[in-house]
Amino acid sequence: MSGLFITFEGGDGAGKSTQAELLDAWFEERGYEVVRTCEPGGTRLGSALRSLLLHGTVGEGFDEVGAVDPRAEALLYAADRAQHVANVVRPALERGAVVVQDRYIDSSLAYQGAGRVLDIAEVRRISDWAAQGLWPHLTVLLDLDPDTAAARRRARGGTSDRLESEADEFHRAVRSGFLALAQADPDRHLVLDASEAVDELHTAILASVAPLVSNAG
């Protein structure tokens, strides 16, 4: 596979989308094909799963699904991932594109593993199976104190989704989960303090991305 696969991870409100968009623009200016995508979502099946996972319904006119068992939740994220990897990510990498993606397997490990207290090794096994063993070349972890992240989300307005509405303790466990994953696999991770200025973060990300660009073309 000749492309380049970069994922952004972190709590809700850490600024992943902003940095992913800046990176997307940087690659496009240099003539690369960029596939900018996200999980959950990124396919038609994924959009339905996203709506189910974040809002508890597949759409207007459908009943709310109520509480979702943590294992069912983990499997739904894995189903979304399987569809997305097979239909979007792997084909893009095979034709040499750069894939810039919000959230991937680490989110399942942090949210369903550390957050929902499922066994992280088991969540990894089902996610790895769903993704047929595809891991990113680089994962940028935007680390942010959950209180600051919650304040950012409030300032942004709008309604909270199911995960965002979880208790502070959940968000703290998710943050520790992400940091532990980064510590266990430092070669794949770039950990940044997401309270830094947008420009500074972008510069730091480029410093890690530049040495990888010969992968894509």
Residue 83 binds ligand TYD, judged by CB under 6 A: no
Interface positions, 5-64, toward ligand TYD (CB under 6 A):
12, 38-40, 54
| Interface residue with ligand TYD, options 5, 26, 27, 111 (CB under 6 A) | 111
- Strands ordered across the beta sheet of 34-38: 34-38, 98-102, 4-10, 138-143, 189-193
- Distance of alpha carbon 209 from the chain centroid: 17
- Closest distance to ligand TYD from the beta carbon of 198 (Å): 16
Q: State both tokens at 106.
A: 């680490």
Interface positions, 176-215, toward ligand TYD (CB under 6 A):
none
Render 132-175 in DSSP notation, one character per residue: TT---SEEEEEE--HHHHHHHHHHH-S---TTTTS-HHHHHHHH
Residue 143 binds ligand TYD, judged by CB under 6 A: no
Considering the complex, state which of residue 97 and residue 194 has its C-beta at the smaller distance from ligand TYD.
Answer: 194
Q: Which stretch binds ligand TYD (CB under 6 A): 20-28, 63-71, 100-108, 195-203?
A: 100-108
**Alpha helices (runs of H) in 2-143, residue ranges in sequence order:** 16-29, 44-55, 70-84, 90-94, 105-107, 120-130
The span from the first CA to the last CA of the chain, in angstroms, equals 11
Considering the complex, state which of residue 93 and residue 163 has its C-beta at the smaller distance from ligand TYD.
Answer: 163
Amino acid symbol at 174? V
- Closest distance to ligand TYD from the beta carbon of 55 (Å): 11
Instruction: Give the bridge partners for 32, in sequence order.
Output: none
- Closest distance to ligand TYD from the beta carbon of 92 (Å): 18
- Closest distance to ligand TYD from the beta carbon of 112 (Å): 6
| Interface residue with ligand TYD, options 35, 92, 163, 181 (CB under 6 A) | 163
- Distance of alpha carbon 44 from the chain centroid: 18
Q: Provide the binding-site residues for ligand TYD, judged by CB under 6 A.
A: 12, 38-40, 54, 77, 102-103, 107-108, 111-112, 163-164
